[in-house]
Amino acid sequence: MPKVVDHEHRRVEIIEAAWRTIARSGWDSATMAAIATEAGFANGALKPYFASKDDLLSAAFEHIYVQTGRRMAAATSGRSGLAALRAYCREILPLDETTRDEARVVVPFWHKALTTAHLAVRHEHAMREWREQLQRHLTEARDAGEVRTPMPDGDIIGHLLTALLGAQVTATLIPHLETAQTLTTQLDGFLDLLTRP
């Protein structure tokens, strides 16, 4: 009797293998053959799931985005206002090995998105969702009297996203300077400024 293959499970295995390979070896070294080896499959086994390495990178970004979203939901559960805003932002920062590996995948995704329209659209959608969630937590914080700065919400959210995404770049390039403690201190320092009139 032929073996039944769980195609969705295999697809996730390939995506996770791609994620590990890109994080460990870099985008250029993460060939389809290397990813197949990491997943424990023959090279040709990837083709039915991903026609190209770019398709696989897009899927890896989507996987990371979903994983980050789950962490955000868990971290903000039971919290509101400034506490939820801080917890939400911490899940984007590369503070541990998992989130640093995620950053190593996201950075080449951004590079490809510069010249690939559907990747740029996917990233824009992700950032729109993040902005909406940041706005929700910020509104709660203002309503609770925690945030007192006259700075417009749009500027606050823009600054947060610039800092959070920038941290993904700097933490991959200069990890000895952009440590978890440094990044956390920077986030807390900015959030503290929001409480001042």
Please give the average per-residue pLDDT across 28-40, as a whole number.
Answer: 90
| Domain edges within the chain | 1-51, 53-194
How much is the mean pLDDT over the chain? 91
Cite the beta strand spans of 63-159 per DSSP E: none
Residue at 134: amino acid letter: L
Residue 3 confidence class, pLDDT cut points 50, 70, 90: low
Please give the average per-residue pLDDT across 3-31, as a whole number.
Answer: 84
Rounded distance between C-alpha atoms, residue 62 and residue 68, angstroms: 10
Please give the average per-residue pLDDT across 162-188, as a whole number.
Answer: 92
Are 102 and 64 in contact by the 8 Å Cβ rule? The answer is yes
CA dihedral sign, ordered 125, 73, 167, 31: negative
Closest by Cα among 109, 113, 97 to 30: 109
Q: Is the pLDDT of residue 2 over 70?
A: no
Q: Is the pLDDT of residue 42 over 70?
A: yes
Rounded distance between C-alpha atoms, residue 69 and residue 51, angstroms: 27
Rounded distance between C-alpha atoms, residue 61 and residue 68, angstroms: 10
Domain 1-51 is found in CATH 2.70.170.10: no
Tell me, yes or no, if the two domains 1-51 and 53-194 fold the same way: no
Rounded distance between C-alpha atoms, residue 40 and residue 6, angstroms: 15
Whole-structure pTM value: 0.88
Three-state SS at 180: helix
The CATH number of 53-194 is 1.10.357.10
pLDDT 10s digits, 78-132 = 999 999 999 999 999 999 999 998 999 899 889 989 999 989 999 999 999 999 9
